[in-house]
Structure 1
Amino acid sequence: MSPEELHAIELLRRVPYGRVATSMRALPFLAVARHIVVDGRVVLRMHSGFGYHRACAGSVVAYGADNFNSGEAALWTVQFTGTAELVEPTTAELELFGPGPHFVDGEVFDPVYMRIEPQLVTVHTLPGNQAAGSRGSAADRPYLHAL
């Protein structure tokens, strides 16, 4: 792996959620997902009830995450692009994900898992964030939905 790819993976491990982007019915869309990194691959957990995994499976997707809500002075964003494939996670991978929510938008959470082997990796940094600390800590802004 290149130094940029290793750096992107290290950054991705710092946050638990990101967004997967692809197209569905010829229109672009973004969906939130929980992620882990295993052997240089990104493994996603999503709610199957939305059906987004069907649009992603076998397609080229982009997966991005950032620390924009962290309150840290140095902000960053990473993006991984590759083909998504549906997978059954190992016991070790399930442990890395931790427990899922009981409900998503009022539906019982039904997880589905996808793996992305990155073909293209991008990292962007925004050092010297002047707004850091002025909006309160990340703990003051809990996630409304957790996958």
Structure 2
Amino acid sequence: MSSDPSASTDSVDPDEQLALELLRRTDYGRVATSMRALPFLAVARHVVVGGKILLRLHKGFGYHQACVGSVVAYGADNADVASPRDVRWTVQCIGLCEAVEPTDTELGLFGPAPRFADGEPFDPVYLRVEPQVTKVHTLRAGQDHRLQRVR
């Protein structure tokens, strides 16, 4: 077993493992849930640890309050960075969200936090999503290029 906490996906099915590996290729995504009976999206920094998705959001927005204890969707993609010849992919994970205090190792995986959010000092809050439903979709031009797992 690897000592890298972000690499542990031993008990994950192959499709979910591919989704988690793709999430590792990008730093930010969007968390979706409802707030006051209305849907909303919020940008979040993410890392994958042990088959779960850790999120870092700005506490000052208050979005974490709507997420904690709720089923959320988290999505990320490579649409803005893929070249015309690349396979474009999108990942969506749906699962229960909980507030967490990350370990020092987990905090290190996030890297430095932004200094400001909407002109105010960035105040991080951390959430964990345990995927229950995971989908990967691809868009490609030309030949059939299958998205392959990276080892």
Same fold (TM over 0.5): yes
Partner of 2:115: 102
Q: CA deviation at 1:61?
A: 0.1
Hey, what does 1:59 align to over in structure 2? 70
Q: Which residue of 2 aligns with 1:9?
A: 20
| Alignment: residue pair count | 129
1:22 is matched by which residue type in structure 2? Answer: T
- The residue number in structure 2 matching 1:111 is 124
Query: Is residue 140 of structure 2 the alignment partner of residue 127 of structure 1?
Result: yes
How big is the alpha-carbon RMSD for the aligned residues of Structure 1 and Structure 2? Answer: 0.9
Q: CA deviation at 1:71?
A: 2.8
Which position in structure 2 is the counterpart of 1:49? 60
Q: Which amino acid aligns with 2:91?
A: V
What TM-score does the superposition give when structure 2 sets the normalisation length?
0.84
Following the alignment from structure 2 to structure 1, what is the Cα–Cα distance between the partners of residues 140 and 104?
Answer: 38
Q: Percent identity?
A: 65
5+ residue gaps in structure 2?
A: 1-11, 143-151
Q: Which residue of 2 aligns with 1:144?
A: none
Q: TM-score, normalised by structure 1?
A: 0.86
Match of 1:134 in 2: none
Q: CA deviation at 1:2?
A: 1.4
Q: Distance in 2 between matches of 1:101 and 1:4?
A: 32
